[in-house]
């Protein structure tokens, strides 16, 4: 028998023996399909946030898998361009899905290897990435905000360059008592200001992080600013016009410019003090059945109210 035929016969016999042994107690016998080698994961990326590297990848191969094998090798001070071919890989764990967070030490260079493992334990080709762990930029200083007519503007002091590279920024928001943060900007920004839609109904915490872009993303600690519903104080309303009508006294005024104003509270001078007599969601109010009086209004936010407008009066016999 020729050597090639002998090797083929041996492989077939070995597979048949393995299939018989493995299928004992199984309802469905194993097939050649179960021993296919999974392809390598693709789109392997690394993002370093402080001293943690987040590895992400995708897998859409034709072979069903049960998990991913993660391996690494590292040595302090080895630059990425020299590689680490002589160092052994060490398995650091298995996961069922992307992403994976790993703790790193600044100044060390890491090589990560991710392999798909089939349901029968067959490991495929690896996706490999070399990541030098660098100290990320410090948090931006001077985080602050200003509330406009329809937007909230976040601001911070620019960092310029870090490690000889231009600094970018990410902005995260955290609503109320939520434990997780949500990225606000779709891509890192080079600007030191960002407009966000106001949320006047709950406390919002915005965190700004500085980062270095490029093949790998290095993101540092954040500087935070908190915006509370009580921070949304409407401007003083315009002085209302006052008219006497057959139904009563009508007040009309220009609306406030703030989009987040919920309405207006109307006050009349009664027995030596200003007392609320009504609420209007539009800049007009009828005090029915009243013939004279002194009035002033205030704009209302979700929590805070504006200063009073100037008072207007109408007396008996006035038109």
Is the pTM higher than 0.85? The answer reads: no
Q: What is the pLDDT of residue 61?
A: 83
Q: What is the pLDDT of residue 74?
A: 85
Q: What is the pLDDT of residue 4?
A: 47
pLDDT classification of 174: cutoffs 50, 70, 90: very high
The listed range with the strongest mean pLDDT (170-179, 197-206, 261-270) is 261-270
Question: pLDDT > 90: what percent of the chain?
Answer: 66
Question: How far apart are alpha carbons 63 and 291 in whole angstroms?
Answer: 84
pLDDT classification of 69: cutoffs 50, 70, 90: very high
Find the mean pLDDT for residues 15-34: 50
Find the mean pLDDT for residues 249-276: 96
Same fold yes or no, 144-229 and 241-314: yes
The CATH code for residues 35-132 is: 2.60.40.10
Q: What is the pLDDT of residue 85?
A: 57
Determine contact, residues 163/144, Cβ cutoff 8 Å.
Answer: no
Higher pLDDT, 76 or 286: 286
What superfamily does domain 144-229 belong to in CATH?
A: Immunoglobulins (2.60.40.10)
The CATH code for residues 241-314 is: 2.60.40.10
Question: How far apart are alpha carbons 280 and 315 in whole angstroms?
Answer: 23
The span from the first CA to the last CA of the chain, in angstroms, equals 121
Question: How far apart are alpha carbons 25 and 55 in whole angstroms?
Answer: 39
Q: What digits encode the pLDDT tens for the residues 216-250?
A: 889 999 999 999 999 999 999 999 999 999 999 99
pLDDT classification of 291: cutoffs 50, 70, 90: very high
Q: What is the pLDDT of residue 32?
A: 60
Q: Is the pLDDT of residue 87 over 60?
A: yes
Q: What is the pLDDT of residue 36?
A: 84
Determine contact, residues 23/35, Cβ cutoff 8 Å.
Answer: no
Q: Is the pLDDT of residue 64 over 80?
A: yes
Could you tell me the residue ranges of all domains in the chain?
35-132, 144-229, 241-314
Question: How far apart are alpha carbons 152 and 159 in whole angstroms?
Answer: 22
Q: What is the pLDDT of residue 23?
A: 45
Q: What digits encode the pLDDT tens for the residues 105-137?
A: 998 899 999 999 998 888 889 999 999 998 899
Least confident of 22-36, 70-84, 165-179: 22-36
Taking residue 300's Cβ as centre, other Cβ atoms within 10 Å add up to 19
């Amino acid at each position: 028998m020729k050597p090639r035929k002998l090797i083929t016969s041996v492989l077939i016999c070995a597979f048949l023996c393995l299939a018989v042994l493995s299928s004992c107690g199984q309802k469905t016998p194993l097939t050649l399909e179960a021993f296919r080698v999974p392809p390598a994961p693709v789109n392997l990326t690394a993002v370093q946030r402080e001293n943690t590297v987040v590895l992400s990848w995708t897998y859409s191969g034709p072979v069903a898998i049960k998990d991913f094998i993660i391996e690494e090798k590292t040595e302090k001070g080895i630059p990425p361009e020299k590689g680490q071919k002589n160092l052994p890989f060490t398995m650091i764990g298995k996961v069922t899905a992307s992403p994976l967070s790993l703790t790193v030490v600044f100044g060390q260079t890491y090589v990560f290897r991710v392999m798909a493992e089939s349901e029968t334990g067959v490991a495929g080709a690896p996706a490999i990435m070399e990541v030098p762990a660098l100290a990320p930029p410090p948090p931006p200083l001077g985080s602050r905000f200003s509330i406009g007519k329809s937007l909230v503007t976040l601001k911070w002091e620019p960092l310029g360059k870090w490690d000889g590279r231009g600094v970018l920024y990410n902005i995260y928001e955290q609503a109320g008592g939520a434990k997780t943060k949500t990225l606000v900007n779709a891509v890192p920004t080079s600007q030191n200001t960002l407009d966000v839609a106001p949320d006047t109904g709950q406390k919002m915490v915005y965190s700004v992080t500085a980062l270095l872009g490029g093949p790998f993303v290095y993101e540092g600690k954040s500087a935070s600013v908190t915006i509370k519903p009580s921070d949304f104080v409407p401007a003083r309303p315009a002085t209302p016009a006052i008219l006497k009508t057959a139904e009563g006294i009508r007040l009309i005024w220009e609306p406030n410019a703030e989009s987040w104003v919920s309405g207006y509270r109307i006050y009349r001078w009664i027995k030596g003090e200003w007392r609320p007599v009504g609420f209007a969601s539009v800049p007009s109010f009828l005090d029915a059945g009243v013939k004279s009086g002194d009035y002033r209004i205030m704009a209302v936010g979700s929590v805070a109210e504006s200063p009073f407008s100037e008072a207007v009066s109408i007396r008996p016999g006035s038109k």
